Amino acid sequence: MRRWNGWGDTHNTEALKPEALSFLQEAIGNATAPSDASWDQALAQVARQPSRLAAHPLIDTSDAARLSASFGQSAWDWLRLRFGQIGRVTDGVAHPETTQDVQALLAWAKQHGVHVLPCGGATSVAGHLTPVGDKPVLTLNLTRMMRLVSLDPVSQIATFEAGVAGPDLEAQLRAHGFTLGHFPQSFELSTLGGWIVTRSSGQQSARYGRIEAMFAGGTLVTPDTTVVLPTFPASAAGPDMREWIMGSEGRMGVLTEAKVRVTRLPEREDFVGVFFPSWEAAQTAVRELAQAKLGLSMLRVSNAVETFTTLRMAGHARAIGWLERYLALRGVGEGKCLMMMGLTGSRAQVRAMRQLGFAIIGAHGGVSTGTVLGQKWAAKRFQNVYLRNSLWEAGYAVDTMETACDWPRVTPMMEAMEEAGRQALARHGEKTHCYTHLSHVYAQGSSVYSTFVYRIGPDYDSALARWQSLKQSVGNAIAAHGGTITHQHGVGKDHAPWFQLEKGPANLAAIGAVIREWDQKGVMAPGNLLGDIS
């Protein structure tokens, strides 16, 4: 059962170790968790907003359904739910089971002047699901559309209904010996359609590609028509129509069926932990590894503060002590940086990648710790996000900001983002513990992913002010240093101001024109991308 005011399954927890709590108290200060609003208190606020939707056999207008459908996983979503400041909620929820259901619902919404917000796993951290504007809003939850429709093993094209969640998608493929290989941290909850319309990136995109490389075609239902995109291995016939759908965030219609390029299950997969003596050595090594195009499935490197934080919060002080003594003997001491490297493929490919990769690693003073740390990381790759619940219960908020830029800008970007976060909280008399990693590495440049941990605050107003200052300051720093406002989280409503700055007037006009062509009455997902919330 999903938590209504936190991350993930209610039966799944990730405890905050005593060593971790002590570390945060030392770094940020003692914290007190605010009192959470109850489910009944939240429902009472929804009840004071009667649904404005006409009766429809596919639409649920109950208070419980509307509350559950109106929030994602952004910091602002959490603040409203936890403090009981619910605000605007959707007017109803539909769970279509076929493309025909979606067509009927969009036609009904167009006829009745209703806005539609498509929804998958509700893991958005950018405000995609927040209802805005004056018209009634219908949330279209696609998670009942989860079938593997067909699999062509010759062309390696699989056709899925777009509401399929990550584990169900992989289970259906693996039964036939295939994988999609798309593993974002939200993998357990997020959906294929959500990955496509937000341009998601999985943890092993270095091998399998971002979702752009996987999306081969499909079916998009708009309020005015249904668009079917055929599959081609490549085409020179003008602009690629798939590009209009990827990153569209519900503005152009509802993706009901997706054709994706799949891969045979690998024969072998290893994750190896490597420590470098400094950030400069780590960044240079990871850049050379990416530019060598060895076929590695993952390269993820933490800066010194994130590495230090990871080791301190892990517990197991005795084992960590032995590790650090060993590394010091190998010339890797204070300021060390941890890299996780994925090697995936046939046994021969993995051997070759290991040999070639370690030649580069050794040239920059890297010290391998084998697969022990890598196995621990792989085992908990989707579990660590549950720490967000435990941190809140200890009085700490955690938020992230991410971007991507070319290699010369990576270190200045990292430093600017962290400093912007520190200054933002300092204006409220607070500290933030911030650290950064490069989660996706390319020959051209890298993503830059910064985490900020800080005290929540005693009440909703102060907590909201702290988060807003952090978001604004770090977003401005990203824009000032030439990064994209998002590498993998999407735009939604939270990032719309910087999206407009990044695209510029001419591009925004072109995007708006395409949206109006497929959605002439403005039914779909107002506020997302363009910030048009009136």
Rounded CA gap, 214 and 231, in Å?
Answer: 11
Predicted TM-score of the model (pTM)? 0.97
pLDDT at 454 over 90: yes
pLDDT tens per residue, range 72-93: 999 999 999 999 999 999 999 9
Look at residue 313 in the predicted model and tell me its pLDDT. Answer: 87
Binned at pLDDT 50, 70 and 90, residue 319 comes out as confident
* CB 320 within 8 Å of CB 311: yes
pLDDT tens per residue, range 210-244: 999 999 999 999 999 999 999 999 999 999 999 99
Calculate mean pLDDT across residues 287-298: 98
What is each CA distance from 32 to 21, 29, 397, 434, in whole angstroms? Answer: 12, 10, 11, 20
Rounded CA gap, 31 and 456, in Å?
Answer: 8
Mean pLDDT score of the chain, rounded to an integer?
97
Look at residue 534 in the predicted model and tell me its pLDDT. Answer: 60
Calculate mean pLDDT across residues 234-263: 97
pLDDT at 318 over 90: no
Token pair listed for 228: 């079917």
Percent of the chain with pLDDT over 70: 100
Token pair listed for 326: 């060993």
Look at residue 316 in the predicted model and tell me its pLDDT. Answer: 77
Rounded CA gap, 336 and 338, in Å?
Answer: 7
Sign of CA dihedral 231, 233, 237, 238: positive
- Residue at token pair 């993952």: 298
pLDDT tens per residue, range 9-41: 999 999 999 999 999 999 999 999 999 999 999
Rounded CA gap, 293 and 279, in Å?
Answer: 22
* CB 253 within 8 Å of CB 227: yes
What amino acid occupies position 4? W
**Enclosing H/E stretch for 170:** helix 166-174
pLDDT tens per residue, range 347-377: 999 999 999 999 999 999 999 999 999 999 9
* CB 451 within 8 Å of CB 386: no
Rounded CA gap, 323 and 329, in Å?
Answer: 10
Calculate mean pLDDT across residues 269-290: 98
Look at residue 533 in the predicted model and tell me its pLDDT. Answer: 76
pLDDT tens per residue, range 478-519: 999 999 999 999 999 999 999 999 999 999 999 999 999 999
Token pair listed for 385: 């996000």
pLDDT at 161 over 80: yes
pLDDT at 138 over 70: yes
- Residue at token pair 């559309």: 145
Look at residue 52 in the predicted model and tell me its pLDDT. Answer: 98
What amino acid occupies position 315? G
